[in-house]
Amino acid sequence: MRPAWLVTKMEDLAACPCCTVGVGGKGFVERTLLGIASFFKEAIFSEEIARAPGFLQHLDPRVKLFSFALFLVAASLMKKALPLLGLYLFTLLLASASRITLGFFLKRVFFFIPLFSGLIALPALFLVPGEPLITFFSLGGFTLAITKSGLSSAFFLVLRVATSVSFAVLLVLTTRWPQLLKALRIFKLPQVFVLILGMTHRYLYLLIALIEEMHLAKKSRTIQRDGLRKEQRWVASRIGFLFGKSRRMADEVYQAMISRGFDGEARVLDTFRMTRMDVLWLGLSVLLFVLALWIGGIA
């Protein structure tokens, strides 16, 4: 038998002006989480740019990967700020030649920069000895101040990271994911590594879809909006749940791949073909690499 409460009509909830139900904007936690989800979706999974007819999109992925590797090496070896700045500006040029709007590109890049550089650059501001610019306090022999050389070395660090991240973002944005994986394999990256990369990509996406759906599901059952504290607790509990669920999902995705004959090797339909432009680009990037190290100074 069906419990009676299940099939009895409830008192009307609607049209009570004193307690408006669930109107207004999204909560803070929800907004943040959904924002991150949709950002990742756009940044990593959007193929729109990779399919646009831009300069980098036309390059052979192998050539692109190789030249970008050169640029990354150069960016991490250069010792002078001005040439490095030049290399950074070069990424902006490449972005605009590849039909990526500047605002979009900068936003992507500067999202990742704090992740990599914040921790290193921040202490450098204070710790590199030199002429103080802004002094916070001076106590005995100890002075906490932003020094001039500290500032310049922090700036240099951020610039270096920005340049590297820009190249990485350009590569991912303008290359279709399976092609990137195949190109990585051609450069003898171990199969296991490429496999893990591919799988991570796959269920990161499923995970994001899951987060979005969970929020919708919660919303459809929420009548009164929770306070921030409660919402945070909910998110924390969901993370545990997500972990379990994602493990199961990972299993299933892996099974589906195995079922369809996947043996760990990345295969793509379009065979890579080098054009004259690729050769030209290859020459140019080698030249640029040598030039960057020469002007930028290795030692």
Partner 1 sequence: MKIFELKDVSFAYLGRFPALRAVSLEVRAGEKVAILGANGSGKSTLLRILNGLVFPQTGEVKAFGQPLTENGLDGAFNRFFRSKVALLFQNPDAQLFCPTVFDEVAFGPLQLDLPPEEIHQRVEDLLKLLRLEALRDRSPYELSLGEKKKVAVAAVFSTNPDVLLLDEPTASLDPRSTRTLIDLLVEANEGGKTLVTATHDLHLVPEISDRVYIFSEEKRVAAEGRPEELLADVEQLAKWNLIHLHKHAHQDYWHAHLHEHPSKEHTHNE
Q: Report the distance separating Cα 21 and Cα 13, nearest Å.
A: 9
111 is an interface residue for partner 1 by CB under 8 A: no
204 is an interface residue for partner 1 by CB under 8 A: no
Query: CA nearest 117: which of 182, 169, 68, 164?
Result: 164
CB 161, CB 109: distance < 8 Å: no
Strand partners, 134: 146
44 is an interface residue for partner 1 by CB under 8 A: no
CB 297, CB 79: distance < 8 Å: yes
Q: Over the range 213-228, which residues count as b (16 or more CB within 10 Å of their CB) and which as e? A: ebbeeeeeeeeebeee
196 is an interface residue for partner 1 by CB under 8 A: no
Phi, psi of 237 (to 5 degrees): -65, -35
Selected from 28, 35, 47, 148, the binder of partner 1 by CB under 8 A is: 47
Looking at beta carbons only, is 190 or 270 nearer to partner 1? 270
51 is an interface residue for partner 1 by CB under 8 A: yes
Total residues interacting with partner 1, rule: CB under 8 A: 26
Selected from 209, 217, 280, 287, the binder of partner 1 by CB under 8 A is: 209
Least Cβ distance, residue 244 to partner 1 (angstroms):
12
Helix ranges restricted to H, the chain: 4-7, 28-40, 48-51, 55-58, 61-77, 81-97, 102-113, 119-127, 148-174, 177-186, 191-221, 228-259, 276-296
177 is an interface residue for partner 1 by CB under 8 A: yes
Least Cβ distance, residue 49 to partner 1 (angstroms):
12
Near partner 1 in 244-273, by CB under 8 A: 249, 252-253, 255-263, 267-269, 271
Least Cβ distance, residue 128 to partner 1 (angstroms):
45
Q: Applying CB under 8 A, which residues contact partner 1?
A: 45, 47, 51, 176-178, 202, 205-206, 209, 249, 252-253, 255-263, 267-269, 271
